[in-house]
Amino acid sequence: MASGPQIGSPAPDFTLPGGVLTGDTFERRDHTLSAARGRAVVLAFYPGDNTAVCTKQLCSYSSGLETFEGLDAEVWGISPQGVDSHESFARDHGLRMPLLADTGRETARAYGVTAPGIGVRRSVFLIGPDGVLRWKHVALLGATFQSLDTLAEQLSGIRTA
């Protein structure tokens, strides 16, 4: 596993296909990290759609979107599954944040979170409004995830820094 970007360094830019569930419509479009400059972005890498821990994690983040929005932050889920899988996952669980398809794992490699066997380590990266990496957590086992409260606390620190 590569080490990925360091705190205080520019976050690797990327463009990935994805979509977001808005009402009954799953809006498909590309998402580019640099296009989100001016707002903080939470990148939540997860191993797979419709798996137990991933579902619990993304449902938690989706139900807390108002908290993230209050901190002027967006949350993007990233996994190796395709956009069709993400649409099904979003519809099955009412997930309201963008889910991005890193099918070739290039973005996961750039962030140093590829792993043999599971493909992608459960990881969270907080990117400041300036495009700089401000905080990260890369799980070794992936059986747990960073809570909404932990992420909100870290985001609050970014805003006051």
Q: Which residues are catalytic?
A: 54
Closest CA to 151 of 30, 80, 63, 33: 63
pLDDT, tens digit, 9 for 90 and up, residues 13-43: 999 999 999 999 999 999 999 999 999 999 9
Give how far Cα 17 sits from Cα of 20, 27, 56, Å: 11, 11, 23
Kindly state whether residue 86 falls inside one of the protein's structural domains: yes
Kindly state whether residue 19 falls inside one of the protein's structural domains: no
Closest CA to 145 of 44, 69, 64: 44
Tokens coding 18: 């994805």
Question: What is the span of the domain harbouring residue 71?
Answer: 40-155
pLDDT, tens digit, 9 for 90 and up, residues 53-68: 889 999 998 988 898 9
CATH number for 50: 3.40.30.10
- Rounded to whole angstroms, how far apart are CA atoms 16 and 23? 22
Kindly state whether residue 106 falls inside one of the protein's structural domains: yes
Kindly state whether residue 7 falls inside one of the protein's structural domains: no
Domain count, the chain: 1
Tokens coding 39: 């707002």
Kindly state whether residue 132 falls inside one of the protein's structural domains: yes
Kindly state whether residue 29 falls inside one of the protein's structural domains: no
Kindly state whether residue 110 falls inside one of the protein's structural domains: yes
pLDDT of residue 2: 53
Kindly state whether residue 83 falls inside one of the protein's structural domains: yes
pTM (two decimals):
0.91
Residue 161 has pLDDT above 90, yes or no: no
Contacts by residues 88-92 (CB-CB < 8 Å, ≥ 24 positions apart)? 88/49, 88/50, 89/49, 89/50, 89/55, 89/58, 90/19, 90/20, 90/21, 90/26, 91/21, 91/26, 92/50
